[in-house]
Amino acid sequence: MVDVYLYGMISASTVHVLDNDFSFPRPNDYAEIMRTMNSVGGEAANSGIMLSKLGKTTKLDGNWLNKNKAPEIFDLLKPYEMDLSRLTIREKYGTEEVVITDKHSRTVFGNYTAFHRGEKQWNDPSETDIKNASMVSLDPYFREDSLLAAQFCVKNNKSYVTIDCKHDDFMAHHAEAVILSHELRNTAYQDADMNFIFQNYLDSCKGLIIFTFGSDELWYSRPGGRIRKFKPYTITPIDTAGAGDSFRAGIIYGLLNSWDDESTIEFASAVASCVCLTMPHTLNAPGLDGVRAFMEEHKR
């Protein structure tokens, strides 16, 4: 039995940090790399790392790992005592990303578009693992298999948290919480009135609805309620990679502890802020004591 079964993306990641005197270059320009770090990308992987840092037991499942990058990924995940027994290694498959970050931005290069458009490169969801988890973290990127995972959750009365599903999607309808980023809204609901779109989610879904807007106020509510807003903590970020994934981890943590929505949102925002103050991704972020200390320091 584990606290959270995470079904989703796991990716090898290389992070290049530019010298402080440089910004991401324009075409044909130059920038100086200050340091390079190996990391782990992917929504499921980073959510799992943070949940483990917060003291929750986790099991990770999802896309196949490339044979050449798998040892590196396993080595980076080893300190977090996650159950990695479901991870599958293949000769020619797997995702990989290169992240270039400066003081003001992060730019990602990868093979995710080819991954999503190509043939299947992921495990089937495990109904047994869903049954044996207190909650499920579900990425929506595995086509019919992500849907199947959500159906397994509903069938076995297991709560799950997902991200970036449209309001008419089964995965959004039945989620305990669904978190919508600006990336999803800009593609699926471009130029639409966000109040109207938010209401569509409230009319369609059963759980907590959250719209994030980066450093601006996020919106949240449940069906039958009014839109409430929360201003994220004011920080000077070092690296924003993994912020959304860690925010989801904080939401899951609050739900597992049966907190009210306001407390859950505040805690998840603190988790994301702590991740933004470290690099790369979630690897060097603080655990539960560090998050609590951050909240105490920034008490509202």
C-alpha torsion angle, residues 255, 260, 265, 267 (rounded to 10):
-80
Phi, psi of 32, deg, nearest 5: -100, 130
Q: Which helix (H) or strand (E) holds 103?
A: none
What is the rounded average pLDDT of the residues 158-163?
98
Is residue 108, in this structure, part of any structural domain at all?
no
Is residue 15, in this structure, part of any structural domain at all?
no
Q: Please check the confidence at residue 15 and state whether its pLDDT lies above 80.
A: yes
Is residue 238, in this structure, part of any structural domain at all?
yes
Is residue 34, in this structure, part of any structural domain at all?
no
pLDDT digits (tens, 9 = 90+) for 242-263: 999 999 999 999 999 999 999 9
Q: What is the CATH number of the domain that holds 149?
A: 3.40.1190.20
**How many helices and strands, by DSSP H and E, does the chain display?**
11, 14
Q: Please check the confidence at residue 102 and state whether its pLDDT lies above 90.
A: no
Q: Please check the confidence at residue 239 and state whether its pLDDT lies above 90.
A: no
Question: Which stretches within the chain are classed as H helix?
Answer: 43-53, 70-77, 112-117, 127-131, 144-155, 170-173, 182-188, 194-204, 243-256, 261-276, 288-297
ω before 280 within 30° of 0 (cis)? Answer: yes
What is the rounded average pLDDT of the residues 47-61?
98
What pLDDT is attached to residue 186?
A: 82
Q: Which domain holds residue 283?
A: 2-9+42-92+120-297
Q: Please check the confidence at residue 66 and state whether its pLDDT lies above 70.
A: yes
Can you tell me the distance from the alpha carbon of 76 to that of 37, in angstroms, rounded to the nearest whole number? 11
Is residue 218, in this structure, part of any structural domain at all?
yes
What is the rounded average pLDDT of the residues 114-143?
96
Split at pLDDT 50, 70, 90, the class of 276 is very high
What pLDDT is attached to residue 300?
A: 66
Angle at 49 between CA 46 and CA 159, to 5 degrees: 80
Mean of all residue pLDDT scores within the chain? 95
What pLDDT is attached to residue 178?
A: 98
Q: Please check the confidence at residue 160 and state whether its pLDDT lies above 90.
A: yes
What's the domain count of the chain? 1
Is residue 102, in this structure, part of any structural domain at all?
no
Q: How far is CA 46 from CA 15, 18, 28, 153, 261, in A?
A: 15, 23, 33, 21, 22
- This prediction has a pTM of 0.95
Is residue 98, in this structure, part of any structural domain at all?
no
pLDDT digits (tens, 9 = 90+) for 182-235: 888 888 888 889 999 999 999 999 999 999 998 899 999 999 999 999 999 999
Is residue 21, in this structure, part of any structural domain at all?
no
